Amino acid sequence: MEASTLRSLWSGWDTLILASYLPAVLLVGFLYRTRSKEGLAQFVLAGRALPVSILLGTAFASWYDTWTIMGQAEEVWSNGMALLFIYILPTALFRIPLALWVGPRFRDQIPETVYTLPDLLTHLYGQRTGSLGAVLILVQLAFEGVHLFIVAEALHLILGLPILQTVCLCAVVVMFYTTVSGLWAEAVTDLFQFAIMTASAGVLVYFLLEDVGGFAGLTAMLEPQDPRLLDPLGRESVPSTLSWCVTALALYTAPQVYQRFGAARRGRDIKIVYLLVLALGVSYGAVMVLVGLAARALYPELPPSEGIWHTIFGALPTGARGLFMVGLAAAAMSTLDTSLLWGSTVIVKNIFQDTFGLKMSEEGIVRANRYMIPVLCVFLIAATRLYEGGVARAWYYIGGFTAAVFFFPIVGGLFLPKRCSSAGWLTLAAGSLFYVLWQVLAAEASEIPSNFATFVFSFLVFFGCRMKVRPDGS
């Protein structure tokens, strides 16, 4: 298939399927608008009452986003199937304790006055640590622009739509239903998005394997290009492999994960839901590994993103292409609305109120959140510029930073006895400074990635502080 034929594959039926998605999302936001008026817990955490069915959909849709779809496929296109062994499978293993112990402990044993990740740090270590964590965790918002960019780039390649205008349209849609209805609208739309994402992935695997002649045919096409594309470690060095494993821990430090934990009815629901999501997620990641390898085999002469879209659209029939695009848009919308909710709450509650002492009622915080969400949308639109050169390692860097800096204060604070207040803020402060200095001064020369070096450094700082804890915990 020639590169010029990509737009010709898109049909009127595909356009109809895609166009029907946006009104449906806006309708859900309108229907659930009254629930968000009942207070901060309703707006941010859906009243801590999400049933298992909706929790399953929103957990999957927020865990597996557009980077899972396109970013992983682009990374596989460049470096082969190694991503399956150095990131996707380690991620699954690391998430088992998150599902079995971290989530249930957070839901059942942490006070219900804890709404955000900085609230948790404040509860564990004091206000100084919570305030510093609130500022540092906002770095993750820079990653969220990748979701807008991926959708806009896809629509540009398929329909010729201008990227900037498409980014703005997507941001406005997400801003509307998030501002109007909070987590309830987000969680309900996530349930439908979960169904769309899984269905589109299943359809893609069937037709893609048929297109490349099965695994044997795919192997035969890749080996002449580069045998390392099929190597479990590919071109990755040992330090680089370990740094991907550090990034696999980033879900322990993601604000949206704790938001979902807090929205569950009980800790037992989290165990059930997140173990199911974990199994589904490995399958979904494996699908995108297959897509990346097939794109490399079929279109090695194209840029990775274009080759991937040619592969997907060449394999799918009419109608299924529209369904896949709806799945991509669903993944983007799901992650973006989550980010707008936790980001606005961190800024309004944890920075304006808790750090600077601006007194607000619960209704005032919700009102301020609604004003802050459009501001964050502007920031996310600007952040899309970061990904014009490719999206393959967007999460590797930003997720790697948050995992390296936040992992030990969060997990250690939840499970270790005799919390040490200095261990929290000092690990965050020293770890973030160390990351920047290592990235600037030593990462290239040493060939040791910054997230892995910082993870080791944070371990030493955190447990070094704990060695100084007195019997009374001070």
33: which 2 tokens? 């608008």
> What is the domain extent for residue 258?
3-411
pLDDT digits (tens, 9 = 90+) for 202-220: 888 888 888 888 888 889 9
332 domain residue, yes or no: yes
To the nearest 10 degrees (0 to 180), the angle between helices 127-137 and 421-441 is: 30
398 domain residue, yes or no: yes
Q: What is the CATH number of the domain that holds 22?
A: 1.20.1730.10
Number of Cα atoms under 13 Å in the Cβ half of residue 189: 35
Tokens 């060939």 label which residue? Answer: 447
Q: Which segments of 98-162 does DSSP mark as H helices, in order?
A: 103-109, 117-125, 127-137, 141-159
Helix, strand, coil share of the chain (percent; to 5): 85, 0, 15
pLDDT digits (tens, 9 = 90+) for 231-269: 888 878 899 999 999 999 998 999 989 988 988 999 999
d(CA 216, CA 209): 10
80 — alpha (psi -120 to 50), left (phi > 0) or beta?
Answer: left
429 domain residue, yes or no: no
d(CA 470, CA 474): 5
For residue 309, report the phi and psi dihedrals to the nearest 5 degrees.
-70, -35
Please tell me whether residue 471 adopts helix, strand or coil conformation.
coil
d(CA 287, CA 307): 16
To the nearest 10 degrees (0 to 180), the angle between helices 267-298 and 89-97 is: 170
436 domain residue, yes or no: no
The answer to whether 218 touches 212, Cβ cutoff 8 Å, is yes
Give me the number of domains the chain comprises: 1
Instruction: Using alpha carbons only, give the angle 107, 111, 117 rounded to the nearest 5 degrees.
Output: 70
220 domain residue, yes or no: yes
Task: Mention every residue, 6+ apart, whose C-beta is less than 8 A from residue 165.
Answer: none
| DSSP label at residue 123 | H
Per-residue pLDDT tens, the chain, 474 aa: give them: 444 577 788 888 888 988 887 777 667 656 655 555 556 777 777 778 888 888 887 787 767 788 888 889 999 998 899 999 999 999 889 989 999 999 999 999 999 889 999 999 999 999 999 999 999 999 999 998 999 999 898 888 888 889 899 899 888 888 876 776 666 666 666 767 677 777 777 888 888 888 888 888 889 999 898 888 888 888 788 999 999 999 999 989 999 899 889 889 999 999 998 888 888 888 888 888 999 999 999 999 888 888 998 998 888 888 888 888 887 887 787 788 888 989 999 999 999 999 999 989 888 988 899 899 999 999 999 999 989 888 878 888 999 999 999 999 999 999 988 778 889 999 999 999 999 999 999 999 999 999 999 999 999 999 998 887 555 555
d(CA 101, CA 268): 10
231 domain residue, yes or no: yes
55 domain residue, yes or no: yes
**Following DSSP, what letter does each residue of 127-142 receive, concatenated?**
HHHHHHHHHHHGGGHH
468 domain residue, yes or no: no
Please tell me whether residue 50 adopts helix, strand or coil conformation.
strand
d(CA 322, CA 318): 7
233: which 2 tokens? 């470690």
176: which 2 tokens? 């509307």
The answer to whether 427 touches 461, Cβ cutoff 8 Å, is yes
Q: What is the reported pTM?
A: 0.89
| DSSP label at residue 85 | I
